[in-house]
Structure 1
Amino acid sequence: MKSPLRPGDPPSLGGYRLLARLGEGGMGSVFLARRDDDGPLVAIKMIKPEYAYDEEFRARFRSEVKRAWQVPPFCTAAVLDADPEHRTPYLVVEYVDGPSLDEVVAREGPLADSRLHGVAVGVATALTAIHGAGVIHRDLKPQNVLFALGTPKVIDFGIARPLEVTSRHTRPDQMVGTVAYMAPERFDDAHRDITPAADIFAWGAVIAYAGTGRTPFRADSPVATAARILTQPPDLTGLHGSLAELVALALSKEPEDRPAAHELLQMLLAQNTGGQSIGRPLREAAEAAQLSGRHVSGGGDRPVPRPKKKRRGRLIAATAAATVLLAGAGFYARWPAEVDVNVQVKRSTPLAVMPVPGAVRGPWVVDALDRPGQWKSTTDAYGGKCSFKNGLAMTTPSFAMVCPGPAASFAGDQSISADITVTNERSCAEVQFRAAAESSYWLDLCPRIVRIRHEGTLRTTTLASADDAGFTPGQRHKVVLNLRDEVASVSVDGNSVLDAKLTDPSLPTGKVAFGVGPAGDEEVVAGAVVAHAEIRPTGNGTGPAGLAFTDVRRGTTKSIVAVRGYYPKSRSVVVEPVLFMTGDEYCRTFKLTPSSSNPCEQAWLTEDSKMVVTLPTSATPRLFSTFDDPGRCAGDPVTVGTCAIRPAELAERLGTNGLVELTTTDGVVTGMADVYTP
């Protein structure tokens, strides 16, 4: 609802003339504006002045802008412009001139038949686009579903966050969202990972409200509503047929029992063949969203992922029906056979290419562990020590200890591999995985026994073990731990050792760490060495044909990478290969139609590989920077640094998120030049 500007509101912002207020939230205000007298109306979200100098809020806004650009405008309000570095940062989005879902229901009553089905498809389409860009909305509710020319559009990514299950983005005493539409796991935000499944729960609550005029867990107070969400089944009286079944499935208490957004959309479109017409514009948007998502739905001719076996039979049947229907209609992604994405690389330099890890990419960690990088040297309070000698050397005089590694959480099917040595018969090497809060799984690698155990807050349970598995002390062994469909399989030197069923549904994801401990209860000096560690996703197929990242580990390469850490004293640098593309190339790659409402109009864009690699540097790498004078110290192809810089200065400038043109020879960094993008 529009309201007049207040006395303290600016008359203009970034060349846009502010006309009225549209709303206000905890982080900023939203204004109706236009750039020219005859230009289209837009909505501008501006951080409140009192927060503009708070680095936490500015960082959150910067993250929002980066992710919002990547969301295709399929049943979402398109991003048009942004300036995160402005004195009062702002984001410009399409103005949707229509009532919200809650206004429509309040005025006209519950929706029914094709109109209700259209809202269900429209919101699922928006979530497919949002999740496909790596974003979680986190505040889906009827007020954020607007009607434009009869087609629903989801708005307000104000608390959207990157799709990384470790990132909570709130302090322990904060809770973001609207209680009636919050998934059960949201009420335990300090201990449970928030995933896209939370948005699916909100979809179920929104559609239940649209079809019945009430929320499915309605109570007299927010506290009572939260209690019902946590303990009671939803009240879906008034919903009928297969849509009611999908809503019930979306409102499952456990996140893993809910369908993914693209699965949900497939099943809704399959239902639509029964006569629930949704209209051509909405169907075209739904089909386009299915082709756009790279985190869950993109990737050549890869079949649509099947739901987990533990889901109800009706989901499996519905998904199968949807798959047949969609395949027959040609809705699977079709990617160009060849795309030129290495525009920043001189063509005289041969490239070793690394295929996209999968449709659900990363995180993917590679570290030889021969120097500080993604793992660091540490000493604990009991004398345990993590250092680097022929690998990550771990010793402890008494209690078991771990050497913390990457902060990322690893979910789904994955492989953890490393070369591991225990120093004596009374030592055990440890691989901790899916570690979250006070719970985790452990792989114990001891000379006399190999086992997998689950450690909870109250007790520890052995899930599987194997005696005399050939893990000889003093010898280096290749250990591979594969996690697939909630089964952990262990091999040592290529020989299968054991399989264990993972039993804790609250641990679908978590951190990975290496450690060491005594083989028995006696106090001994235990030691182990880990080298050549790799943690990577598996079983997700490959990315679009022609889409490849430079493999900086092999051959002679020159490419653009994101630097996650540069340590001159250790002669090491942690990098993530990225694709550096013009807006036109980006939209050609991801099959977006050029317009002012998507990234096609941007000069340059990056696409992350999610593969983070620790590399050694040469003794005297050639280092260049733009300094503070890009006009003098920047060259082609974009503005790559040409002025020499000292290692410590470059490390400070790059921090943990700088872009550089990286030169390597056989996996050794021989040169870095920072990249300036005006």
Structure 2
Amino acid sequence: MSDRLRPGDPARLGGYEVLDRLGDGGMGSVFLARSPQGRLVAVKVVRADLSHDEEFRGRFRSEVNRARQVPPFCTAEVLDADPDHDPPYLVVEYVDGPSLAEVIRQQGPLGAARLHSIAVGVATALTAIHGAGVIHRDLKPANVLVAPGGIKVIDFGIARAFEATSQHTRTNQMVGTVSYMAPERFDTASGRPTGPAADIFAWGALVAYAATGRSPFGGDSATATAMRILTQPPDLTGLGGPLRELVSRALEKDPAARPTARELLDGLLTAAPPVGAGGPAQLLGATPPRSTSPVAGGDERGAGSVPPGLTTGGGAGSRRRGWFTALGATAAVIAVLVPAFMFGPQLLRGQSKPNLAGSTPSGSPATSGPAATASTPASGKPSASPSTSVDPTGAMLAGQRRFLLHVVEIDRDLSLPSHGELEVGDGTGKDALFVLEPVGVDYMIKSVNPEIAHRPCLGVKLDSEGNKSLVGADCRPTKATVFAISRDGKDDKGRPSYAIISEEYGPVQWSPTKREIFVEFLGDAPLITTFSMVDRGAV
């Protein structure tokens, strides 16, 4: 028995023999195990408070199935999962090799040939991941393993199941490594910024880090780094040659201006190859001499130093997919919790950044996003009446203007009468007026109907059969009253439209059969209902 296993750790998980504890993360614990066929694997065990959450199990199952569609040639392969086991677990390939974060920490910035190899390998992985309809969400040097035959990208594909149901991500916090977060991750207008373009931004920051040993937006604090990502160009000093132009394009503030993963890969393969930096082994990203030190600080990658008595033909490594944010951090590059209010609506008001996620496509006039909101006075409170030059959509998102909540697909409006049950109507009367109250990067949706002052905010109500509806609720930020508002095109009047999503319960949808608004566990179901905000004047 390994001296790193603890009392109470499982001896077996399904058909897998547990050999050692590799680390702990936000979602649970990671164990080294042996499969019935004798293969070493990494097994991620879900933490106790999620084990009996049926919604989590459903999301877990759905996202594992999606992650399995990603070709494994440059990613960590998902081998097995049992969401119905107590506790649920995930089995991933055990990859032999240190993380890119460890390589840079031990050896310093990469030379030209090796850097180009890493850039190509990660772009190839992103092409495969995005081609399978998956978004990584947490690409960083700790999630890139330098294996003997090339690089492997880990920690993708199933974190959404965890994030959507876990209280680990609270309404006033964000999880992630700030240095690799795209600007839209901090933009309140985009709600849940998880598009493929965010992975491209992370690729640019990762390659710049590998070339220079520092973040291109490095600040003295997480908040300072976030501000630089939002407002400053990247510092690419020390990065030259063909990569500099591609990295610069990948780090554009506007997601629409960034290349796709396929375009990145094409650009890398057609660029002049780097010269003067070693032979084929380096071009393949060969593994440097591995550190013999044990996993520091509870390695979460799903792989690490092999316990005494076990051999794998090499060093430390890991394998897994990227929507569990629990396998993938080293002591030097850690996922940080940053209070969202530091870069939420208050931070973004008054910033001039018209093309972040949530803004209109390039070439269109900007009609939304916090960039267009009025500047915040020294008191920290928004102006009661924005100037005439302020975009009303941005002011509505900042909680400064009233609006009708228009259901785009049926051309009707929501209302909250005095009895507290949400209705769909023609948008007339005091029942139909709402304002947004920002809560970190999310919102409470508040009625201005004076007759419902005791429960004016929309909240999710569960009945005895598990059906979820929207009703009037107390205006306290809870899992039932806080919603993400995610940009999703335009309505027939050209106004920005949004998906409204409860991180705990799912998206707000319209039922054509029951002719009512309800909240649906999304899973693999399509998002069929969007909302636009029809301006009705200052609060």
Letter in 2 for 1:381: P
Alignment match, 2:52: 53
Confirm or deny: 8 A CA contact 1:116 1:211 kept in the other structure: yes
- 1:278–1:192 distance in 2 versus 1, CA, 3 Å: farther
Question: 1:152 matched to which residue of 2?
Answer: 151
User: Contact 1:30 / 1:43 at 8 angstroms: preserved in 2?
Assistant: yes
Secondary structure class of the residue paired with 1:65: helix
Distance 1:185 1:245 in 2: 21
Residue 14 of structure 1 aligns to which amino acid in structure 2?
G
| In 2, Cα distance between equivalents of 1:366 and 1:184 | 28
When residues 232 and 15 of structure 1 are mapped into structure 2, their CA distance, relative to the original with a 3 A threshold, is same
Quote the residue 2:385 is aligned against.
none
Secondary structure, in 3 states, of the residue corresponding to 1:74? helix
Distance 1:126 1:21 in 2: 28
In 2, distance between residues paired with 1:49 and 1:31? 16
Percent identity for Structure 1 against Structure 2: 57
Match of 2:250 in 1: 250
1:439 & 1:156 partners in 2: Cα distance?
Answer: 27
**Residue 236 (structure 2) aligns with:** 236
Hey, what does 1:11 align to over in structure 2? 11
Deviations 1:119-169 (A, max 9, x none): 00111111112222222221111111101114110111276339xx9xx99
| Structure (1/2) with the larger strand percentage | 1
- The one of the two structures with greater contact order (alpha-carbon pairs below 8 A, sep at least 6) is 2
After superposing the two structures, state which structure 1 stretch, 121-130 or 190-199, moved more.
Answer: 190-199
How many Å separate the matches in 2 of 1:100 and 1:93? 16
Identify the residue that residue 177 of structure 2 maps to in structure 1. 178
Matched, 1:110 2:109: yes
Amino acid at match of 2:100: L
2:63 matches 1:93: no
Report the AA paired with residue 51 of structure 2. A
State the Cα RMSD in Å: 4.9
Contact 2:113 2:282 in 1 (8 A): no
- Checking the alignment, whether the CA contact within 8 Å between 2:412 and 2:427 is kept in structure 1 is no
Partner-residue secondary structure (3-state), 2:130? helix
Structure 1 residue 116, shift from structure 2 partner: 0.6
The answer to whether the Cα contact below 8 Å between 2:80 and 2:90 also exists between their aligned partners in 1 is: yes
How is 1:35-54 mapped onto 2 (pairs within 5 angstroms)? 35-36=35-36, 39-54=38-53
Structure-2 residue corresponding to 1:139: 138
User: 1:236–1:193: structure 2 CA closer, same or farther, 3 Å change rule?
Assistant: same
Q: 1:13 to 1:225 in 2, by over 3 A?
A: same
Give how far 1:394 is off. 4.4
Q: Give the C-alpha shift of residue 179 in structure 1.
A: 1.3
**Rounded Cα–Cα distance in structure 2 between residues aligned with 1:50 and 1:221:** 32
CA 439–109 in structure 1, closer or farther in 2 if over 3 Å, else same: closer
CA distance in 2, matches of 1:3, 1:249: 48
**1:419 aligns to what?**
none
Q: Which amino acid aligns with 2:417?
A: A
In the other structure, the counterpart of 1:67 is 66
Shift of 1:220: 2.3
Counterpart contact for 2:416–2:431, Cα < 8 Å: no
Q: Deviations over 1:563-608 (max 9, x none)?
A: x9999878xxxx9xxxxxxxxxxxxxxxxxxxxxxxxxxxxxx9x7
**Shift in Å at residue 94 of structure 1?**
0.8
CA contact (8 A) 1:382 1:397 kept: no
Q: Quote the Cα distance in structure 2 between the aligned partners of 1:190 and 1:394.
A: 26
CA contact (8 A) 1:139 1:176 kept: no
Code of the aligned partner of 2:128: A
The aligned counterpart of 1:651 is: none
Q: CA deviation at 1:8?
A: 2.5
What TM-score, normalized to structure 1? 0.44
| 1:204 alignment partner AA | G
User: Secondary structure of the residue that 1:119 maps to in structure 2?
Assistant: helix
Deviation at 1:52, TM superposition (A): 1.3
How far the C-alpha of 1:437 sits from its partner, in A, is 7.1
Aligned equivalents of 1:228, 1:215: Cα separation in 2 = 11
| Alpha-carbon shift at residue 187 of structure 1 (Å) | 2.3
Task: Assess if the C-alpha contact under 8 Å between 1:135 and 1:160 holds in 2.
Answer: no
- Does the 8 Å contact 2:242/2:272 carry over to 1? no
Give 1:47 deviation, angstroms: 0.5
* Change in CA separation of 1:280 and 1:132 when aligned onto 2, cut-off 3 Å: farther
Query: What's the offset of the Cα at 1:396?
Result: 3.7
Report the CA distance shift for 1:259/1:510 in structure 2 as closer, same or farther (over 3 A). farther
- State the one-letter code of the partner of 1:202: A
SS in 1 for 2:109: coil
Q: Which residue of the partner structure matches residue 33 of structure 1? A: 33
Could you say if the C-alpha distance between residues 208 and 3 of structure 1 is closer, same or farther in structure 2, counting changes exceeding 3 Å?
A: farther
Residue 60 (structure 2) pairs with residue 23 (structure 1): no
Question: Does the 8 Å contact 1:179/1:222 carry over to 2?
Answer: yes
**Cα separation, 1, equivalents of 2:253 and 2:283:** 34
Count how many residue pairs are aligned between Structure 1 and Structure 2.
Answer: 348
Distance of 2:95 and 2:29 partners within structure 1: 16
2:110 & 2:198 partners in 1: Cα distance? 24
* Distance in 2 (alpha carbons) for counterparts of 1:200 and 1:236: 16
Query: Which structure 1 residue ranges, 5 or more long, are not aligned?
Result: 284-307, 311-364, 370-374, 403-434, 445-451, 455-506, 513-563, 576-605, 614-678
Bigger radius of gyration among the two: 1
Secondary structure of 1:137's partner? coil
Letter in 1 for 2:139: L
Query: What SS does the corresponding residue of 2:17 show, helix, strand or coil?
Result: strand
Q: What per-residue deviation string (whole Å, max 9, x for no partner) do you get for residues 207-232 of structure 1?
A: 11111111112222222222222222
Deviation of residue 32 (structure 1)? 1.1
The SS at the match of 2:63 is: helix
Contact residue 98 and residue 146 of structure 2 kept, 8 A? yes
User: Which letter does structure 2 place at the counterpart of 1:510?
Assistant: Y
SS at match of 1:116: helix
Q: Are residues 143 and 395 of structure 1, via their aligned partners in 2, closer, same or farther at CA, if it must alter by over 3 Å? A: closer
Equivalents in 1 of 2:512, 2:232: separation in Å?
53
Counterpart contact for 2:117–2:283, Cα < 8 Å: no
Q: Mind listing any 5+ residue stretches in structure 2 that lack a counterpart?
A: 286-360, 364-406, 435-483, 501-508, 530-539
Q: 2: distance between equivalents of 1:566 and 1:223?
A: 41
Distance 2:217 2:491 in 1: 38
Q: Distance in 2 between matches of 1:46 and 1:158?
A: 16
